[in-house]
A and B are shown apart, each in its own frame.
Chain A
């Protein structure tokens, strides 16, 4: 069993839909990252969280430390949101552990 699990693995949506991507982890962490990679593009860090929530435009990331769970929400999704979204945690031993990624496709 992976120490960082994401769901769903693949997600398709119509433009305008609300999207949630889920990340659960089984290790103690000091922080969690949400990363985005467009096809053919580099990896971009969207958020780094250690508690609560952060918001940037249409993207919202939340983390529940007690439940070892984080969600990435996208409101009013757009085809340009199509990308692979990955959560990565920094463990208590400063090890970076990646989730398996969620491939999102948003259709017009």
Chain B
């Protein structure tokens, strides 16, 4: 059974803190993605990775960085969290060569920055 897991469902952090969001997939997928979802704005791509140690900026990379040291794990890092980064963060993965409707999503992490 396909599985994408995220380290936390809910997270509360203070402004200026460093935040790590972890995502793990067990499907041997090459592509992994980090999105944020905000009311009225839909899903917006932050970063994606198509191979280990490879990363590419998405639509809104500012204030974020990522790490892909192993194929199954893709981490999103907020170097210094700010209140405008309060959002739902979704991780996804897909096979190389797949279309977007074969992306598998994790359950999401709701991050609140105070």
Task: Say if the beta carbon of A8 comes within 8 Å of chain B.
Answer: yes
Closest B residue to A20 using CB positions: B97
The contact size tier of chain A is 20 to 34
A58, chain B: closest CB distance, angstroms: 10
Q: How far is the CA of A62 from the CA of B56 in the complex (A)?
A: 12
Proximity string of chain B (53-66) to chain A, C-beta cutoff 8 Å, 1 when within and 0 when not? 01010110000000
Write out the residue numbers on chain A whose beta carbons fall within 8 Å of the beta carbon of B33: 18
B50 partner residues in chain A, CB cutoff 8 A: 20, 60, 62, 71, 73
* A22 interface neighbour in B45, B96, B100, Cβ under 8 Å: B96
Q: Do the beta carbons of B97 and A60 come within 8 Å of each other?
A: no
Q: Are A13 and B96 in contact (CB under 8 A)?
A: no
Contacts A55-B56, A60-B56 hold; do A71 and B100 have CB atoms under 8 A apart? no
Q: Which of A50-79 contact B (CB under 8 A)?
A: 53, 55, 60, 62, 69, 71, 73, 75-76
Asked if A90 lies at the interface with its beta carbon under 8 angstroms from chain B, I say no
Find A20's partner among B45, B59, B94 (CB 8 Å cutoff): B94
Docked Cα-Cα span, A19 to B94, in Å, equals: 11
B54:A53 contact, CB within 8 angstroms: yes
Cβ proximity bits B39-76 to A, threshold 8 Å, 1 near / 0 not: 00000010010110010101100000000000000000
**With A18-B45, A75-B56, A76-B59 in contact, is A62–B97 under 8 Å at CB?**
no
Q: Is B99 in contact with chain A by the CB < 8 A criterion? A: yes
The 5 closest A-B pairs by CB, nearest first: A22-B97, A17-B100, A71-B96, A7-B97, A11-B99
B residues whose Cβ falls under 8 Å from a Cβ of A: 31, 33, 45, 48, 50-51, 54, 56, 58-59, 94, 96-100
